[in-house]
Amino acid sequence: MNTTAESNPTTGPWLVVGLGNPGDQYAGTRHNIGHMVVDELASRRGERWSRHKAGAAIVETRLRPGTPKIILAKPASYMNLSGKPVSALVRFFSLTPEHLIVVHDELDIDFDTIRLKRGGGEGGHNGLKSISQSLGTRDYVRVRAGIGRPPGRMDVADYVLRPFGTTERKELPLHLDRCADAVESLIEDGMAAAQNRFH
């Protein structure tokens, strides 16, 4: 019988990392949507963040009593240095990359759209590049939270480091809610089922 994480998604624990930049000045920006999603997951369970020696804020929780442990994490490093704290958490909790889920902003899909995948390229995302380099593999799960492309000739770096626009902010709670639902579905149901539900 095949007992891989994909065919038996109830195995654990799982590490769910929300990417972003530290500091209040970045808190509401597009680049920090990963932080916002793991904040939503922690809030659903009434959990509070604590500091971990790996260089991240973490929450240890479960979807429900009796289900595998989930470690939610927000690296305390800047986005392009995310690999060091993520790899340290993987080692500390004795995880394999197959049980790592990274939630990040995605320019190549529209705002309020979600795409789920395992492995593949980083699409120019410096946080993913850092994680892949530190882990020595790209074989981890990504929750790609769409933020869309910048309008006109706006520089991409300026765009991702700006707060969401007025219209986006109205829809943002629903987008975060669906991204959090997608993380829970990945853990509980596996990749294929989660993709069928959210794509």
Comparing 153 with 10, the larger pLDDT belongs to: 153
Instruction: Determine the pLDDT at residue 73.
Output: 98
Residue range 22-71, pLDDT digits in tens: 999 999 999 999 999 999 999 999 999 999 999 999 999 999 888 899 99
Pairwise CA distance, residues 168 & 46, whole Å: 26
**Of 146, 150, 174, 177, the residue nearest 161 (C-alpha):** 150
Is the per-residue pLDDT at 9 higher than 60?
A: no
The mean predicted confidence, pLDDT, of the chain is 93
Is the per-residue pLDDT at 118 higher than 90?
A: yes
Which residue type sits at 158? D
Cα separation values, 126 from 39, 122, 131, 154, Å = 22, 8, 9, 19
Angle of helix 126-135 relative to helix 83-92, nearest 10 degrees?
40
Give the CB-side neighbour count of residue 90, counting CA atoms within 13 A: 21
Instruction: Determine the pLDDT at residue 12.
Output: 75
Q: Which of 31, 52, 125, 175 is catalytic?
A: 31
69 within 8 A of 52, measured Cβ to Cβ = no
Q: Which helix (H) or strand (E) holds 124?
A: none
Instruction: Determine the pLDDT at residue 123.
Output: 86
% of the chain with per-residue pLDDT over 70: 95
Instruction: Determine the pLDDT at residue 145.
Output: 98
Is the per-residue pLDDT at 3 higher than 60?
A: no
Residue 125 known to be catalytic: no
Q: What is the pTM of this model?
A: 0.93
% of the chain with per-residue pLDDT over 90: 89
Instruction: Determine the pLDDT at residue 104.
Output: 98
52 within 8 A of 58, measured Cβ to Cβ = yes
Is the per-residue pLDDT at 6 higher than 50?
A: no
Residue range 66-113, pLDDT digits in tens: 889 999 999 999 999 999 999 999 999 999 999 999 999 999 999 999
What is the mean predicted confidence (pLDDT) over 16-24?
Answer: 97
Is the per-residue pLDDT at 4 higher than 70?
A: no
